[in-house]
Amino acid sequence: MVKLATLLVASAVATAQAAPRTVVIDPGHGGSNTGAKGAQLNEKQLTLALANQVTAKLRARGIAVVMTRTDDRTLTLRQRIAVANRLPADLFVSIHGNASPARNQRGYETFVLSARGVDVDGRALRGDMRTPRPNVDPEIALVLDDVERGAAQWEAADLAARTQRALRARRGEAGDRGVRQDAHHVLLGATMPAILVEVGFIDHPLEGRELAQPATQTQLADALVEAIEDQLAEL
Ligand SMILES: [Zn+2]
């Protein structure tokens, strides 16, 4: 059973390498869920603007992209992950903007799915969240799901580190808040490497104004594209 699972993983990996890469870009919030509010713009607007740019740039490089939303609509966290799992996607990148109680924080940080998230919530979500595997014994499919989640976690950590490096190169070292491991709800149940990037603080008097500027949005989009492209080259 273990040997069979190993063989199936090897063949699944070989198939994935031959297939064109697909990235799911998730603009955080939307519709009735505005997210963080800034003086210049709201989080749901910033995330969609960035997601549109990232998507256009990735497609121009021949990478297939699916967005979880392309307009101002409300989506549950479960619906967003389901889009990525159904494909299944090679990477899942959720874009967010930050806010702080005293409006005095600034900088960018990236979250990866934590081990605790996999053990507790990954299993809880398994019922409707597993990777579609036609013609695979359901018992073996469960083993494959676990193996893939384990590998996906390391790859997510890589992608998160690349994202922070790419943002640091464009936004400056002072804003680097690092890679975080906290279980972030949107990432729970993902079967592929999944990260959530908080590109900056939308409610900070200076950074909020910067985030509303097209030049800054282009910097941020370029950083995400670079990280995603580099990560896909490694997969
Ligand atoms: Zn958010």
Tens digits of residue pLDDT in 10-28? 555 555 455 679 999 999 9
- Please state the domain extents for the chain: 2-7+40-234
Distance 68 CA to ligand 1 centre (A): 14
Report the candidate in 64, 67, 57, 60 with the shortest Cα–Cα distance to residue 22: 64
- On the 0-12 / 13-18 / 19+ scale of CB atoms within 10 A, 213 is exposed
Distance 18 CA to ligand 1 centre (A): 34
Report the candidate in 224, 190, 200 with the shortest Cα–Cα distance to residue 77: 190
Distance 35 CA to ligand 1 centre (A): 5
Q: Strand 108-112 to strand 194-201: parallel, antiparallel, or no bridges (unpaired)?
A: antiparallel
- Residues 113-139 have pLDDT tens digits of 644 444 333 443 344 445 566 777 777
pTM for the structure as a whole: 0.81
Distance 33 CA to ligand 1 centre (A): 9
CATH number assigned to the domain covering 2-7+40-234: 3.40.630.40
pLDDT tens for the chain, 235 residues long, are 555 555 555 555 555 455 679 999 999 999 999 999 999 899 999 999 999 999 999 999 999 999 999 999 999 888 998 899 899 899 999 999 999 999 999 999 999 864 444 433 344 334 444 556 677 777 777 666 666 667 788 899 999 999 999 999 999 999 999 998 765 555 667 888 899 999 999 999 999 999 999 999 999 999 999 999 999 998 8
CA distance 227 to 154: 15
